[in-house]
Amino acid sequence: MKFIDEAHIHVTSGHGGAGCVSFRRERRIPKGGPDGGDGGRGGDVILEATSQKETLLKFHFNQRFKAKNGGHGRGQRMTGADADDLILSVPPGTTVTDLETGQKLADLTELGQRYVAVKGGRGGQGNARMATSSRQAPRLAQPGGPSEEKRLALELILLANAGLVGYPNVGKSTLISKLSAARPKIADYPFTTLVPNLGVVQVDEDNSFVLADLPGLIDGAHTGAGLGRRFLKHLNRCQVLIHLLDPTRLDPAKPKRDLELIKKELKAYDPELAQKPALLALGKMDQPEGEEALAAFKKAHPKTRIYPFSAYTGQGLAELKYAIWSLIKPNQ
């Protein structure tokens, strides 16, 4: 499925049905009086967060949505039918912004959470409801209330407890495939991950967390280089960041260089990202460069905690999983 995390839509509610002008006409009742019914309510357009949706793909191909109009009133005090609301399903984590004003209208983070984007028009009163003691035979009725319309920007920001961050091809996809049931594309060339992947990591029988594998960052990502700006936003909801280093590209003289560059990109994009709880992991420990890189890092930065692991042999995976959970658990 193609991953679409941004869309612009135009929504219009239904207008209310018009009230009816009618008079009772029955045998032996020459002056039956007004009996025009009210119009029905127009339908609302409602956005609802549902787990059945994982992307905004639907809104990429269809941008215009209109609810049905309310039914018109009829004689014999018959009220027009209320129109059904139009419910648009979106993935949890979708934000809604008014394109005209730039105002953020809703942040749908909970399953079942709803936002009424535009309200349907009210039904107009029929002449039966407009009769008074001084005007017993009104020959007028109210029109239905007008519809509303808005142009909205939908933006999906994934809901994940922890996010994997690092340069391309450092092993993020392999790691998430070992810790969860996620099966992202894995290959030995850069940018095999072109869309975010989510996986549920089971800690024990009662606890789990959602881990996000984001496309690799490169220098200048905060300005849009590579796949940077488009996917950096998905880190905003993460409680914990996991900085993943690759021993095959680590400089023994400057083992923290990659980490510092990635942190610089995150801070340039959003200073709050630099304040999030984070831990440091060194993958590919089954490679010949693994032990050498780990020793160089510990020698240069003895006070910095680093979690070495090998997705191939399983070394260190359990320790890394529990370390991530220890940072997430206080916020549960």
Confidence of residue 94 (pLDDT cuts 50, 70, 90): very high
Alpha-carbon distance of 87 to 122, in angstroms, equals 19
The answer to whether 5 and 155 are in contact (CB under 8 A) is yes
Please give the biggest Cα pair distance in the chain: 107
- Cα 263 → chain centroid: 25
| pTM (2 d.p.) | 0.75
- pLDDT for 162 beyond 60: yes
| Structure confidence at residue 20 (pLDDT) | 95
Which comes out higher in pLDDT, residue 168 or 49? 49
Which comes out higher in pLDDT, residue 253 or 105? 105
- The strand order across the sheet containing 162-165 reads 197-202, 208-213, 162-165, 240-245, 278-282, 306-308
Residues 6+ apart with CB under 8 A from 134: none
Alpha-carbon distance of 22 to 226, in angstroms, equals 68
- pLDDT for 128 beyond 60: yes
Query: What percentage of the chain exceeds 70 in pLDDT?
Result: 88
| Structure confidence at residue 2 (pLDDT) | 59
Q: Please state, rounded to an integer, the average pLDDT across all residues of the chain.
A: 85
Alpha-carbon distance of 283 to 310, in angstroms, equals 6
For the stretch 308-319, pLDDT in tens is 999 889 999 999
- pLDDT for 114 beyond 90: yes
For the stretch 261-282, pLDDT in tens is 888 888 888 888 888 899 999 9
The answer to whether 287 and 203 are in contact (CB under 8 A) is no
Q: Which of 96, 78, 85 has the alpha carbon at shortest distance from 121?
A: 85
Alpha-carbon distance of 327 to 332, in angstroms, equals 10
Query: What percentage of the chain exceeds 90 in pLDDT?
Result: 44
Domains and CATH numbers, the chain: 1-156 (2.70.210.12), 162-331 (3.40.50.300)
